[in-house]
Amino acid sequence: MADREYTRCLIIGSGPAGYTAAIYAGRANLQPIEYCGLQIGGQLTTTTIVENFPGYPQGVDGNQMMMDLRSQATNFGVDIRDGVITKVDFSKKPYVATTDRGAEIEAESIIIATGATAKYLGLDDEKKYMGQGVSACATCDGFFYRKKVVAVVGGGDTACEEANYLAGLASKVYMIVRKPYLRASEVMKKRVEENEKIEILYETNTLGLFGDNGVEGAHVVYRKGESDEKKYDIAIDGFFLAIGHKPQTDIFKGSMDMDEQGFIKVNGINQKTNIDGVFAAGDVCDPHYQQAIIAAATGAKAALDAQEYLNQIGK
């Protein structure tokens, strides 16, 4: 078939995991092809300054860091393409991936680094204030809110962890919880309930955000739709979403082992999936940490795993 290409290693996705996998695969002379996906550079391109990635003592713009990683991968001969893989046939080897333009690529090994996206409430104001007070990562951005007032949306373990983390930096933390209780584990509930810096607003929904120079407050409603419904405003400097992440694994569903949320299951010792020669890296297989440095590390591991696999099969 004229449009069908062949590669020893196909990398699906960019961001810290995809680009680091590309750097390692390129240096190993695997001559990889990388498709960057819809969000070129991944979630870090939606942030401003990244301060917790080693090697940048003054911090670095998220977009700049991804451009640096991309440039480094290109220097090692990686064929980086701005396109989307829409389907992969794992029924026979080499595997066949199809792009959004209908082209087909035969691949002896595949590294999946499609990432995960934070879940949002769907408010227009979330987009309006993104990077100006709205964040989906307390570990990434909490440092900017030292001695300020912030709000965390969510009532599960993640929300409690984020609230506790932020309480160590901010002067006050509101937890906006839709239900009349926390869904978190007992130990996490106890931690937030006993933290004097955290105020839990039960049965409360966010209606919108406001502010002239970034987020200055939130419009909220208590017991929405009930007879005792009450609307009011809270003054905040930061608004953190902690209602979960959605892994970008739809095209792989039914083809490989995933957990109930859709995160790809890996070996644990390495980045192997249950499919021979297919590896996963970054947030797509990490429902817990979701940090750039960890994504980069798993990208390196996946490339080393792919190299070992190709050596074993003599390709």
Domain spans of the chain, in order of start: 4-117+246-313, 120-241
Q: What is the mean pLDDT of the chain?
A: 93
- C-alpha 42/C-alpha 189 separation (Å) is 32
* Active-site residue flag, 237: no
Of 52-56, 73-77, 109-113, 218-222, minimum mean pLDDT range: 52-56
According to the model, what pLDDT value does residue 212 have?
Answer: 95
Name the 3-class secondary structure at 25.
Answer: helix
Angstrom distance (rounded) from CA 254 to CA 189 = 36
- Strands 79-81 and 60-61 turn out to be unpaired
**The one catalytic residue among 141, 237, 286, 305:** 141
Instruction: Determine the Cα–Cα distance for residues 82 and 303; give it in Å rounded to an integer.
Output: 20
42 versus 274: which is more confidently predicted? 274
Q: Per CATH, the architecture of 4-117+246-313 is what?
A: 3-Layer(bba) Sandwich (3.50)
Question: Tokens 């951005």 — which residue?
Answer: 141
Q: How confident is the model at residue 165 (pLDDT cuts 50, 70, 90)?
A: very high
Q: Is 36 annotated as catalytic?
A: no
Q: What is the pLDDT of residues 151-160, one digit of tens each?
A: 999 998 889 9
DSSP string, 57-70: TT-EEHHHHHHHHH
pTM beyond cutoff 0.85:
no
Q: Which of 137, 283, 285, 286 is the catalytic position?
A: 137
140 is catalytic: yes
Please give the CATH superfamily to which domain 120-241 belongs: FAD/NAD(P)-binding domain (3.50.50.60)
What is the rounded distance in angstroms from the CA atom of residue 113 to the CA atom of residue 17? 6
Question: CA 161, CA 176: separation in Å to the nearest integer?
Answer: 14
**Mean pLDDT of all residues in 27-31:** 96
Whether the domain at 4-117+246-313 and the domain at 120-241 fall into the same CATH topology: yes
pLDDT band with cut points at 50, 70 and 90 for residue 228? very high
Kindly report, residue by residue over 76-109, the tens digit of the pLDDT: 999 999 999 999 999 999 999 999 999 999 999 9
Task: Classify 221 as helix, strand or coil.
Answer: strand
> pLDDT confidence of 46, banded at 50, 70, 90?
low
* pLDDT tens-place string over residues 168-223: 999 999 999 999 999 888 998 999 999 999 999 999 999 999 999 999 999 999 99
Q: Which of 9, 36, 125, 140 is catalytic?
A: 140
More confident: 131 or 302: 302
Query: Which element (helix H / strand E) includes 232?
Result: strand 230-235
Residue 47: its pLDDT value, please?
66
Q: Residue 89's pLDDT is what?
A: 96
